[in-house]
Amino acid sequence: MESELHSIGELARASGLGVGTLRYYDGAEVLTPAWVDPHTGYRWYRPAQLADARLLARLRRVGLPLADIRAVLAAAPGSGDARHVLDAHLRRLEDGLADARRELSLIRTMIDQREQPMTTTTHLTVRADDLAAALDAVRFAVSGDPDQPSLAGVLFEPDGPALRLVATDRYRLALAEVPATGAPDQPTPGTIVPTALVDALRALLPAAPPEVHLTLTAGLFRAETGEHRIEGTPLDFDYPDHRVLTRLTPQHRITLPTAALRTAVETGATRTLPSGPHGAECAVTLLTLTEDGRLTVATDPTAEDFQIAVNRDFLLDALDAGHPEQLLLELGGPIAPLAIRTPDDAGTFSVLMPVRLPA
């Protein structure tokens, strides 16, 4: 039999993969040998596996995750499944490159400010009703944890023709975008507006004139509308990179009325698990898909079902944020974040971290 097979050393030399790497991929059930000598434990591979090994070497070079490598090698010929995996990975790489360019631009700005100290001031004009809707969409995700002072506010992040608002407590994240005029073409560091100042601004907006003028600097946040003006000192922290959590690859997209999902969550079964801040026990809702693709609240976890567990109160907060009539839910799997979007507004959505169910 050995004369018909390649030894692990021969396969390593022919493919460019190390012997140790081949052993790893055997253990990971990505590229398993055709035969293992029961006496020596030595691995032998079929000649046809050389092509898989060479493909595997190239997939490693472009940083394809292990699960995706397994999917590419297992894809049926002609199914197109392998190409879908590669296309998704290429999009992630392109998104990552765009993020890196943006971050490097911000870093250069910070270095310039450090070497030539000066205060960069950004002046923006937004519509009052747009800003009110954006604050309503993100306010629920602001952290109230005193151990996370950098999250005790809303990030105001100018980005070309838009102003992006971001809030997170590390268990959930909410984003909203509003059209803005006056924003610089180049990226600028965001301003973390403290919670109290955010709430004061929101209370001012219902009776405000149509436009709100914002001034953002390292040491000042000011909002002016008509004869009213509020201002205060931003939080002096680095805000977490929200783009890492918003690069999602959902397996399912479900559109449904908000009221129907809210009723299902409010009346559905829950489990009590340590899923809140500092490990506090919380009510957890288990969302699952039926065979016909409907989203329901499950009573008990079933291994065969597509399901995701989330903090019930956090889910209800996300459903109420902004008061949308329709929702688009993006589900990526039991350990992937759940994205809750408004179908007609791509820039406004929230993300909930899943709760890991006990084995």
pLDDT for res 118: 46
Topology annotation, domain 123-232: DNA Polymerase III; Chain A, domain 2 (3.10.150)
- 327, 258 contact by CB (below 8 A): yes
pLDDT for res 114: 64
pLDDT for res 48: 86
Tracing tokens 């000598």 back to the chain, one arrives at: 37
Q: What is the pLDDT of residues 198-231, one digit of tens each?
A: 999 999 999 889 999 999 987 899 999 988 999 9
Q: How far is CA 284 from the centre of its chain?
A: 20
pLDDT for res 178: 94
pLDDT for res 266: 93
Topology annotation, domain 248-352: DNA Polymerase III; Chain A, domain 2 (3.10.150)
Q: How far is CA 80 from the centre of its chain?
A: 26
Q: Where are the domains of the chain?
A: 2-74, 76-118, 123-232, 248-352
Which residue in 334, 347, 272 sits closest to 305, CA to CA? 334
322: left (phi over 0), alpha (psi -120 to 50) or beta: left
Whether 123-232 and 248-352 share one fold: the answer is yes
Residues of the chain under the 50 pLDDT cut: 1-2, 117-118
pLDDT for res 185: 63
- 291, 300 contact by CB (below 8 A): no
| Angle 178-96-72 from CA coordinates, rounded to 5° | 125
pLDDT for res 112: 63
Which residue in 337, 141, 348 sits closest to 251, CA to CA? 337
Contacting residues for 100 by C-beta, under 8 A, at least 6 apart: none
pLDDT for res 325: 87
- 150, 203 contact by CB (below 8 A): no
Under DSSP, is residue 287 helix (H, G, I), strand (E, B) or coil?
A: strand
Tracing tokens 């100042």 back to the chain, one arrives at: 197
Topology annotation, domain 2-74: Multidrug-efflux Transporter Regulator; Chain: A; Domain 2 (1.10.1660)
- The type of residue at 235 is L
